[in-house]
Structure 1
């Protein structure tokens, strides 16, 4: 197996800011793990959406961060710099000139340089292209060496391959043990149930169902909601809205409440096998997690032992009513042990390496005139 260390150019939304950027934790975990395995990563991110004004980490030691102006000229300069890479990654949802980048990175593909599309919101991408036969990304799908996703399982794999993808592989969210871990509780986050997530169109109805309705139905319980955009949302008096929660506070946010709620966006719940980053963040802090139901939960955690599952807001309220402190602590500890044993970013980076090296070997065999089955 070719195991050389790679110079990777990565075009994404932001590595240094989690502001309106739910993929930040995922990027940091993957990039850090790849760096620790000897690879060099340059992360190109646009100066957009006030992310640089709301940075929550300095430039990390595990990647070179290039922040470029939100102009076509600046994007093209970054693409020129990426010609020095062995591997070029275009992530979905950069937010600035996505169509340009998706088209232009493919011009960097050579026999020696792979180009990958990394979809951090495959359900949204697939829904978009299925509803628009003229979507400019659609004819590009077969041209990428690989399509990676951070969730979706067989439904996403089959959907991408039906659109002509050479290969589609999920690299699931995971735990970064260097940043997410148990800490001492903080009184400001004390409550019976906490939820963290930005207000998005395909999440809002589910937040009403799984969080706001149970809160209104259980006035004797205390609830906290964090994330951007909820300020004008009607809520019962036992719900406290705390706004954007910076990454440095996530551990305390997860460690302090009796339970932490995960609510999937509608599209991710529909495709299944799409655990949000916050699930692994919370598990890594030893939190007792209550999640809405989606297919594939048991692929990651054992229901009732390592995670609690609710199919409705009524079930959320019922779980809270019967959940003791001792039960919550036991479930949180079981989830913590599971992520350490099977769901860290080191596990994901190892999977990615094996995938990349297999692809490199296949390309080398093809160039030499031999078939993979001959070897």
Structure 2
């Protein structure tokens, strides 16, 4: 859709790139988004040629684990040599492990910016009896997540046959389902609140690469938080920097933990956890706060690493 805070230009063919880059040179900030899927290698280098006294260049990495693995596996990767030339490196989460890795590769700074809540789109609504369940999980069937879905969601459903499970997302149609699991196919954004407010609990399962690195809460965690849902998440490093385990979120190391939460957490207790999570998200994890972090980083006199709560700490830029 249209936005009122920026001018959007979409190039049709690679022949348009030179004209687009010339136009971009008039901007105060140029951001190269990672993994666009076309002309990435060229643009990673060419945007740096736009640097001027009034123009700074940033790289925004939305899949830092993949980017960092790629440049480590191939010391001759062209992007590796470009990292020190960017004025800013922003990442889609990842915390200190990702930030320190980028700094070791010569980055001037690294600022993780995390997913967050938009309270205008994700908020409490009336429950819908058609999607009532004990545990809901919404997630597409992806190679980087399927094994963890089997490990957490399906294993729990088979162990807790007395509970009802709801599965949303594409790709699960040919997977045999236990009798207590109902698949509802693709779930559009407009239906998130309805499901999050109808399930007794909502399950989050991180992709394997994100779980390995940690410090990467996915969008669905904050969407569920906005609805006041009681969230069970798979365990990964850094979750306690966003929500307090046991009071604002439930953390499962295994399917057995999920089953225990289902059997030992009545609906009223789940509602209290969901309420506490929503309050924390509204206080510390809105997109307005994340935007403030970006603004602060762009105007800081010293290098910063953004923390999940909106504060910032100096970036480490040397290693013994």
Structure 2 unaligned residues grouped into runs of 5+: 304-320
1:348-367 aligned within 5 A:
348-358=290-300
Matched, 1:218 2:160: yes
The Cα of 1:353 is off from its aligned counterpart by: 1.0
- Structure 1 moving runs of 4+ over 6 Å: none
Matched, 1:272 2:217: no
1:1-375 aligned within 5 A:
58-69=1-12, 71-358=13-300
Structure 2 distance, partners of 1:83, 1:304, is 50
Q: CA RMSD in A?
A: 1.9
The Cα of 1:242 is off from its aligned counterpart by: 2.2
Give the SS at the match of 2:57.
Answer: strand
**Which structure is higher in RCO with an 8 Å CA cutoff and minimum separation 6?**
2
The Cα of 1:77 is off from its aligned counterpart by: 4.2
Structure 1 residues 317, 77: CA separation in 2 closer, same or farther (over 3 Å shift)? farther
Structure 1 distance, partners of 2:103, 2:299, is 21
Structure 1 residues 285, 67: CA separation in 2 closer, same or farther (over 3 Å shift)? farther
Structure 1 residues 199, 104: CA separation in 2 closer, same or farther (over 3 Å shift)? farther
Structure 1 residues 245, 78: CA separation in 2 closer, same or farther (over 3 Å shift)? farther
Structure 1 unaligned residues grouped into runs of 5+: 1-57, 362-375
TM-score between the two structures when normalised by the length of structure 1: 0.76
Structure 1 residues 319, 59: CA separation in 2 closer, same or farther (over 3 Å shift)? same
Tell me what 1:47 maps to.
Answer: none
The Cα of 1:197 is off from its aligned counterpart by: 2.0
Structure 1 distance, partners of 2:49, 2:172, is 42
Structure 2 distance, partners of 1:360, 1:310, is 38
Structure 1 residues 319, 60: CA separation in 2 closer, same or farther (over 3 Å shift)? same
The Cα of 1:207 is off from its aligned counterpart by: 0.8
Structure 1 residues 187, 353: CA separation in 2 closer, same or farther (over 3 Å shift)? same
Structure 2 distance, partners of 1:360, 1:167, is 9
TM-score between the two structures when normalised by the length of structure 2: 0.89
How many residues align? The count is: 303
